[in-house]
A = this chain, B = another copy of it.
Amino acid sequence: MKHTAIKDALQAKKFDEEITICGWVRTRRDSKKFSFMELNDGTCFASIQVIADSEIDSYKNVLNASTGSSVKVIGLLKESPGKGQKVEVHAQKVEIFGVADSDYPLQKKRHSREFLRTIAHLRTRTNTFGAVFRVRHAASFAVNKFFNERGFYYLHTPIITASDCEGAGQMFRVSTLDAINPPLNEKKEVDYTKDFFAEETSLTVSGQLEAELFASALSKVYTFGPTFRAENSNTARHLAEFWMIEPEMAFCDLAGNMDLAEEFIRYVIKYVLENCEEDMQFFNKWVEKGIIQSLEDLCKSDFERMTYTDAIKVLEKANKSFDFPVKWGIDIQTEHERYLTEEYHKKPVFITDYPRDIKAFYMRVNDDEKTVAAMDLLVPRLGEIIGGSQREERLDVLKKNMAKHDLDEETYSWYMDIRRYGTTPHAGFGLGFERLIMYLTGIENIRDVVPFPRTPGSAKF
């Protein structure tokens, strides 16, 4: 079924040649002698205008092509006299693949995002969601391109896991045991030795620990895959299933880690601005006014670096009433993050060297023994976008941290082995891909940047 993508047709330079295009009817209006159809195939933001003369043999097909119907048009590509469009197609023949039933929910009017979420199988045909998923694609490709160009190897870490990266966080159980009457052991607990993997397994919350193993062999690796949290959080910022990006580098400290994070963010933003111009213009006009300028500014800014201790001092002195009171030792909240990046520094800022007690067991303990070599990158409009650290490479210190966090040495023996056999300073960071897409598009609800969101009470499609 040879045909030309509408994206290519719209960029054509040669006119008056025969062309075949396929797509879905966005709108149609008929005059006495002509019918005008806007045809969209999702290959780009814009639709193409098709003009059908009522004299053509297949004009009855044109009249049947209701909004949402899929059609094939053979015609001549013409330079358009109309404003705002350079190209149109003068139809010679129109075929219908399938009409849209009259209850097609995407009739020409504005729909709320809440409503569109209930028809996630159709919403990609709208301007907003077509643009979101083209940007999501471009950002995905930029992620892989960035790391490939820098000698990082892509690592597919396991989804099903018997360990728990953070020593915390609620997880989804994965099992094939009988759901009503699972086998029990002598202690009347579920006997997971009879389960598929012969032990209790869950969905991963992070690929970091495995990435550390591979960095200890290939030097630089990254993961880019789904991760899971079984938290009952029904907010605009949480999903039960989301994609994470986690680079990990051997022979690297916290400063090198921040250098990479900075370069990474700039790279992905530039790639999307250059490759999704039309989609980004749409977000700029209809979703978040000024977003293009804000992203361009970020690419040009110097990124600030300040310690947590200094950040707390700044927050304490701020002439501002925060919902969460500030003192050394607290978790920095979104309101604090946004003050630091939007009002105080007015640019992106890395906060480093957080209190040991509020951070994970694998972070490298600083010489003060109170803080760890962690970093979070805060950006205007969003707050934290990246979190990372140098990892604890000293076996004795790691063991103490694990004991503090009640982690079982046997379960993590493989993780500790890396510290036994040629341990190296190493570092990495993680970022949630959906939060990056929210940042790039201005879309405010995380459910609207993922094809089929998984949230408490919803696993539809």
Residues of A within 8 A of B (CB): 1, 3, 5, 7, 22-25, 41-43, 68-70, 72, 97-101, 104, 106, 121-122, 124-125, 129-130, 133-134, 136-137, 140-141, 144, 148, 151, 153-163, 170, 172-177, 179-180, 182, 184, 188-190, 196-199, 201, 203, 210, 213-214, 216-220, 225-226, 228, 230, 232, 240-241, 243, 250-253, 256, 393, 414-415, 417-425, 450-452, 454, 456-461
* Central interface residue in A69, A253, A414, by most chain B CB within 10 Å: A414
Partner of A213, one of B101, B121, B144, B162: B121
With CB as the reference atom, state the residue of chain B lying closest to A158: B452
Assess whether B174 is in contact with A133, with CB atoms less than 8 Å apart: no
Given A159-B159, A421-B122, residue A134 in contact with residue B454 (CB < 8 A):
no
Assess whether B217 is in contact with A42, with CB atoms less than 8 Å apart: yes
CA distance in complex: A155, B42 (Å): 14
Partner of A197, one of B124, B161, B225, B454: B454
Given A175-B175, A179-B182, A458-B197, residue A417 in contact with residue B122 (CB < 8 A):
yes
**Which residues of the other chain, B, contact A454 by a CB distance below 8 angstroms?**
158, 160, 197
Assess whether B134 is in contact with A153, with CB atoms less than 8 Å apart: yes
Given A122-B417, A173-B175, residue A97 in contact with residue B157 (CB < 8 A):
no
**Which residues of the other chain, B, contact A197 by a CB distance below 8 angstroms?**
240, 454, 456-459
Say how far A179's CB is from chain B's closest CB, in angstroms. 5
- List 10 A-B residue pairs with CB atoms under 8 Å apart, sorted by A's residue number: A22-B424, A97-B422, A98-B393, A98-B424, A101-B420, A133-B214, A140-B156, A159-B226, A173-B175, A414-B461
Partner of A159, one of B196, B241, B424: B241
Say how far A364's CB is from chain B's closest CB, in angstroms. 13
Partner of A5, one of B159, B163, B219: B219
CA distance in complex: A370, B56 (Å): 38
Given A197-B454, A414-B461, residue A203 in contact with residue B226 (CB < 8 A):
no
Given A190-B180, A393-B98, residue A414 in contact with residue B43 (CB < 8 A):
no
Say how far A405's CB is from chain B's closest CB, in angstroms. 19
Assess whether A217 is in contact with B130, with CB atoms less than 8 Å apart: yes
CA distance in complex: A88, B279 (Å): 51
Say how far A61's CB is from chain B's closest CB, in angstroms. 13
CA distance in complex: A220, B1 (Å): 14
Assess whether B5 is in contact with A151, with CB atoms less than 8 Å apart: yes
**Which residues of the other chain, B, contact A158 by a CB distance below 8 angstroms?**
241, 451-452, 454, 459, 461
CA distance in complex: A162, B459 (Å): 6
CA distance in complex: A134, B218 (Å): 8
CA distance in complex: A133, B153 (Å): 8
* Central interface residue in A68, A161, A459, by most chain B CB within 10 Å: A459
Given A101-B420, A217-B124, residue A425 in contact with residue B1 (CB < 8 A):
yes
Partner of A218, one of B25, B124, B179: B124
Say how far A92's CB is from chain B's closest CB, in angstroms. 18
Assess whether A250 is in contact with B22, with CB atoms less than 8 Å apart: yes
Assess whether B220 is in contact with A43, with CB atoms less than 8 Å apart: yes
Partner of A451, one of B156, B424, B425, B457: B156
Assess whether B151 is in contact with A210, with CB atoms less than 8 Å apart: no
Partner of A160, one of B124, B162, B213, B459: B459
Given A98-B393, A182-B180, residue A162 in contact with residue B41 (CB < 8 A):
no
Assess whether B156 is in contact with A148, with CB atoms less than 8 Å apart: no
CA distance in complex: A220, B241 (Å): 24
Given A144-B141, A156-B451, residue A68 in contact with residue B101 (CB < 8 A):
no
Assess whether A219 is in contact with B423, with CB atoms less than 8 Å apart: no
Say how far A186's CB is from chain B's closest CB, in angstroms. 14
**Which residues of the other chain, B, contact A251 by a CB distance below 8 angstroms?**
1, 3, 22, 41, 72, 97
The 6 A-B residue pairs with the shortest CB-CB distance, nearest first, are: A98-B423, A42-B218, A124-B217, A70-B422, A197-B459, A22-B251
